[in-house]
Amino acid sequence: MPLQVSDYSWQQTKVAVFISVPLRGVCVRDADVFCTENYLKVNCPPFLFEVFLYAPIDDESSKAKIGNDAIVFTLYKKEAAMWETLSMSGVDKEMMQRIREKSILQAQERAKEVTEAKAAARREDQKYALNVMMKIEEEERKKIEHMKENERIKATKELEAWKEHQRKAEQPKGIQREEKLHQQEKQIEEEKKKIKHKSLTRNSASRNLATKGRSSENIFFDKLKEDSIPAPRSVGSIKINFTPRVFPTALRESQVAEEEEWLHKQAEARRAMNTDIPELYDLKEEEKNPEWLKDKGNKLFATENYLAAINAYNLAIRLNNKIPVLYLNRAACHLKLKNLHKAIEDSSKAYRIMKLHLRLIHPTKLYKMMLRRFGI
């Protein structure tokens, strides 16, 4: 149980109260001081000083000085008056407890208000600092834009001056060029006149010669005309031999007309199928076979290139969707790629096709196939 400090001293004026609390033999710096309007407490184990003040004080402006094994309080009164005693008289334990609880609540509310005020002040400071930074950045931006504009104007003026200088420097060159062109035009006109004069003199001379030699020219003109016409072509015939088509069946069993019609239908079906599938345009004829595509997909599956194998199986299924092995192989690729739904779907399709094939097979033939399969 703490020891109550009773050898304290106090003095007062009309505006203040001075209390000296001695704490001998302990470190005064470890003292815990709690002060409100009507309550003052000092806890410095093993000592305890507690007083319920006679009248309310201004705890915000009051002071405490610690040193020389004592604590000196300077408490400022809210009302200027002389107190009869330092503590209230006739205070029982219940009243003391109520004063303590009320003082603690007041201290908590005041601490909360102080915290909120500090937070509000901090927010205001941050807002003010942000506004100041924004203004500084805006001024810097305007300054930079102004410098850019000045540089642009300066560069524009320099470019205009350079163009004007180039224009002035090119003016005498242009005059000289025009003079040269004018001289060249004169020379060309003079040469044209000379050529025209020569041609006129040559034409007059040729006319004179033509009148003299016209009679001799007519003598050979008909002969030259006859020599220039070619002789007509001789009539003949060209023989074309076609390679005969060989049918796999014997001639006595072959029906040429039906086989020709069947081949024609097969060619048309192949062309229609190739037009429906754009992927077949760049493939060779042997690559358009589903069996070849199945083997290609198997090779790609062996090299763990599952996506390319799926593409090969897809094209083979588009060519012939009645082969269950294609669906099973594609299901294996999907299983490797963790596409479980697609793997189940392809497996179901393969099962349905195989089931349909088994229904179409005669029971006796199916029984023989099973015996041959299991080696019985």
Residue-wise pLDDT for 57-85, tens only, equals 888 888 888 877 788 889 898 888 888 88
Q: Are the folds of 3-88 and 287-374 the same?
A: no
Q: What is the average pLDDT across 10-28?
A: 84
SS3 label, residue 285: coil
pLDDT tens digits, one per residue of 247-288: 556 656 666 677 777 767 766 666 555 555 666 656 676 777
This prediction has a pTM of 0.35
Residue 243 has pLDDT above 50, yes or no: yes
Do residues 196 and 202 make contact, with C-beta atoms less than 8 angstroms apart?
no
For residue 143, what pLDDT band results from cuts at 50, 70 and 90? very high
Between 275 and 195, the more confident residue is 195
The arithmetic mean of pLDDT across residues 93-108, rounded, is 84
CATH of 3-88, one of 3.30.70.100, 3.40.228.10, 1.10.10.10, 2.60.40.790: 2.60.40.790
The CATH number, out of the four listed (3.30.70.100, 1.20.1440.230, 3.20.20.70, 1.25.40.10), of the domain defined by the range 287-374: 1.25.40.10
Q: Where are the domains of the chain?
A: 3-88, 92-163, 287-374
For residues 67 and 75, the answer to whether their CB atoms sit within 8 Å is no
Look at phi and psi of residue 67 and say left if phi exceeds 0, alpha if psi is from -120 to 50, else beta: left
Q: What is the pLDDT of residue 215?
A: 47
Mean per-residue pLDDT for 176-204? 77
Residue 197 has pLDDT above 70, yes or no: yes
- Interatomic CA distance for residues 84 and 17, integer angstroms: 12
Query: Given this model, what pLDDT does residue 368 score?
Result: 60
pLDDT at 235 over 70: yes
3-state secondary structure of 253: coil
Task: Supply the pLDDT for residue 217.
Answer: 46
Burial class (CB in 10 A: 0-12, 13-18, 19+), 310: buried
Burial class, 283, CB count within 10 angstroms (exposed 0-12 / middle 13-18 / buried 19+): middle
pLDDT at 36 over 60: yes
- Mean pLDDT of the residues in the chain: 79
Residue range 362-373: mean pLDDT, rounded = 56
Cβ contact 10:40 at 8 Å: no
Instruction: Find all residues with CB under 8 Å of 349, minimum gap 6, and list them.
Output: 324, 327
The CA radius of gyration of the chain, in Å to the nearest whole number, is 61
The confidence band for 333, taking pLDDT boundaries of 50, 70 and 90, is very high
pLDDT at 355 over 90: no
